[in-house]
Amino acid sequence: MNTNVTKNPIPAFGLGTFRLKGQVVIDSVKNGLDVGYRTIDTAQIYGNEAEVGQAIAESGVARESLFITTKIWTDNYAKGKLVPSLKDSLAKLRTDHVDLTLIHWPSPGNAVPVAEFMGALAEARAQGLTKHIGVSNFNIALMKEAIAAVGAQNIATNQIELHPYLQNRKVADFAKSAGIHITSYMTLAYGKVINDPVIEAIAKAHGATTAQVVLAWAMQLDYAVIPSSTKRANLEGNLKALQLKLTDADMAQIAALDRNERLTDPAGLSPAWD
C-alpha cells in the first residue's frame, strides 16, 4: 500500500461532454457553469474542444476557478506527437494549461508502449501544459505498466465505465490500493439505471431523483463522477447529488445490482477487461 499519496486532486463532481457537439455542447457547458459546475471533461476525439473553449470564454467564469480535463487520442501517443497534440487541444480550449490530461484508451495492438506514452505525458506536465496526468479505460495489467513507467503517485486517476450494473470492483480495488483515484464515466449507464426499481425505491425514500441517488452512490464510494446533460433542469438536479447522503442499507442494495453489464467495449480499443 502506498501511504505516501498526496491528497487526491480530482474534484468529485464534473460535467461530461461526450457525444455533445456544436451549439449543443456550447449550451450545455454554459448552462452547467451558470448553475455551478466548475469541472469540465472533454477529449480530443469528442471533436468539441473548441466549442468547450468558446463556452468557457463566453461564460465569464475565471479560468482559475475551473478544473478542465482532456484526453489524448490513440493517434497521438507517440513520443513526438503527444505534446504537440496537447498544445493543439490547449489552443482550442483557449487556455495555456489543462488541469488533467488522460490517455484515453490503451494503444491499439500496443503500437505505442505504455512507457513511451506515459513518459510523454509526464513530459507534458513538466512543461506546464497540464497539472495532473492519468489514464482511462485501463485494466489492472495496464495500470501496473503505467505505475512502473511514472510511479503511482503521478497517476491522478483511472477513468472507467462504472455504474450500478458494472461496478468494476477488481479495477477499483487495485487502483485504491495503489493510491490511484477512480473517475466513473457513464455512471447512469446511458440512463438505464434511472428506471431500476431498487433505485426508484431509494429515491422515493429520500425525496430525490434516481439520477441523484446513483451519482451520490458513486461519490460515497469515493469515485468522481462526470455526468452530462443537455437540459438545464437536469444539470441543476444532478448537482444536488452532492448534498444527498445514502444509508448503509441503500449502499448495500445498490451494491447488489452489479451484473457486469458493460456498455462501452469498442473493438480494437478495449483491453482484456478484469
Q: Which residues carry a binding-site annotation?
A: 104
DSSP annotation of 60 reads -
Give yes or no for a contact between 21 and 48, defined as CB atoms under 8 angstroms apart: yes
Instruction: Tell me how far apart the alpha carbons of residues 72 and 59 are, in angstroms, rounded to a whole number.
Output: 25
Q: Which of 46, 165, 185, 223 is catalytic?
A: 46
Residue 150 contacts residue 193 (beta carbons within 8 Å)? no
C-alpha distances in Å from residue 230, one per residue of 25, 67, 150, 227: 8, 20, 37, 11
Q: List the one residue out of 241, 224, 231, 270 whose CA is nearest residue 99.
A: 224
Helix axes 232-239, 210-220, angle to 10 degrees: 40
Rounded CA separation 124/129 (Å):
5
As a whole number of angstroms, the distance between CA 146 and CA 25 comes to 32
Stretch (H or E) spanning 169: helix 169-178
Amino acid at 224: A
Q: Which residues are annotated as a binding site for substrate?
A: 104
Active site residue 46: yes
Angle, helices 197-206 vs 248-255, to 10°: value is 170
Give CB contacts under 8 A, 24+ apart, made by 153-156.
153/2, 153/4, 153/5, 153/6, 153/179, 154/122, 154/125, 155/180, 156/8, 156/9, 156/10, 156/100, 156/132, 156/180, 156/181
**Residues assigned a catalytic role:** 46
